[in-house]
Amino acid sequence: MKKIRVVSLFSGMGAYEKALKNLKIEYNLINYCEIDEIISNAYSILHNEPITKNLKDIKSINPKKIKNFDLLCYSPPCQSFSAAGKKSGLQDEKGNLFYDALKIIQTKKPKYCIMENVANLANKFKKEFNDMLLSLDNAGYNNYWKKINAKDFIPQNRDRVFVVSIRKDIDDGLFEFPLGSNQHLSWDTFIDISDTIELTDKQLQRVNYAKGINENLIKIKGVVQFKHSVISFFMNSMVFSDKREFPTLLTLAHQYVICCNERISRLHPRSHFKLMGFDINDYNKLDGKFSNKSLYKMTGNSICVPVLEGIIGNLLKNKVIK
């Protein structure tokens, strides 16, 4: 099979590209698209690609100027549909970015497209989601979609919807989504739980007053999620203990604290990389070049790589790219 030509939109850390590498599928990156300059630099380092391949703002792209490619990977911003976001759907500017990706699909007609977004898109925004699927159908694609929780592939509770679009003239109707094994280790054995960052005395004092925190909790292995912003992140907490999967990683460094061995701390970014399916070598490439705050943001906005490995593997197995 010759190298598959890839365009990546809303690229973030490049989880799709990481999955391709793990599957040993040779590919040629035509372009990636990441508007955040810091994350773009991280992508370039992680995947050894020149910054000049970055298309930057998707709204400024002329699809006709993009070279032909086979696979489009895109994950439009999820805040417009997320349960934790504004929930303004397609009325929000970010919610409309799907249609900028659609223009590229309509113009370039790649063989395959894979989209990821929050499960809430299919749960609470069914009309908008159906409109998206109809638009892809009208563009000439058969569409397969499924809500997949990453906890069946890696110990993180991360529920997302995936849409695989295959051009109708090449679709053999055999694509199936991966099931996952659900046999992974518990989160506290999957990562090094001792790899943590100490909280300051001031933060610890606030933790002691957080709802649901008590002396008994810190004597067990557990995770505490804080529901509000950094200003009040020690209020209205949710406690997760004795769970196989880690709660959904978010973008705030202080969103969770770990209670273990009578010690309260937060996970180091290295562990966040592992819980997203990246590895320590990936972390080491970025260590010292980016702040921990940026690393937490990158991982919190990324996609669990093992899920993508399952999807891409099923999509491209036994396929001959011509």
Identify whether residues 37 and 56 lie together within a single domain: yes
Identify whether residues 19 and 137 lie together within a single domain: yes
Q: In degrees, to the nearest 5, what angle opens at C-alpha 74 toward C-alphas 314 and 176?
A: 20
Identify whether residues 253 and 128 lie together within a single domain: no
User: Amino acid identity, residue 297?
Assistant: K
Identify whether residues 160 and 22 lie together within a single domain: yes
276, part of any domain = yes
Identify whether residues 253 and 114 lie together within a single domain: no
In tens, the pLDDT along 45-56 reads 999 999 999 999
Identify whether residues 54 and 158 lie together within a single domain: yes
**pLDDT of amino acid 149:** 95
Residue 138 reports pLDDT greater than 50: yes
User: 78 an active-site residue?
Assistant: yes
Of residues 21 and 214, more confidence is placed in: 21
Residue 117 reports pLDDT greater than 60: yes
Picking from 41-50, 56-65, 76-85, 162-171, which range would have the lowest pLDDT averaged per residue?
76-85
**pLDDT of amino acid 83:** 47
Band (pLDDT 50/70/90 cuts) for residue 204 is low
Q: pTM (2 decimals)? A: 0.89
- Token readout for 56 is 């930057």
322, part of any domain = no
CATH code: domain of residue 13: 3.40.50.150
Identify whether residues 170 and 227 lie together within a single domain: no
Band (pLDDT 50/70/90 cuts) for residue 230 is very low
- Domain with 38, as residue range(s), is 4-183+304-316
Identify whether residues 30 and 115 lie together within a single domain: yes
Nearest to 258 by CA among 237, 280, 287: 237
Band (pLDDT 50/70/90 cuts) for residue 231 is very low
In angstroms, the CA 263 to CA 266 distance is: 10
In tens, the pLDDT along 157-167 reads 999 999 999 99
Nearest to 120 by CA among 147, 91, 102: 147
Which one of 229-233, 266-270, 309-313 scores highest in mean pLDDT?
309-313
**pLDDT of amino acid 233:** 38
Catalytic residue of the set 78, 113, 259, 304: 78
On average, the pLDDT of the chain sits at 85
Identify whether residues 112 and 192 lie together within a single domain: no
Residue 64 reports pLDDT greater than 50: yes
Question: How many domains does the chain contain in total?
Answer: 2
**pLDDT of amino acid 209:** 47
Identify whether residues 174 and 204 lie together within a single domain: no
In tens, the pLDDT along 179-199 reads 887 676 788 888 888 888 877
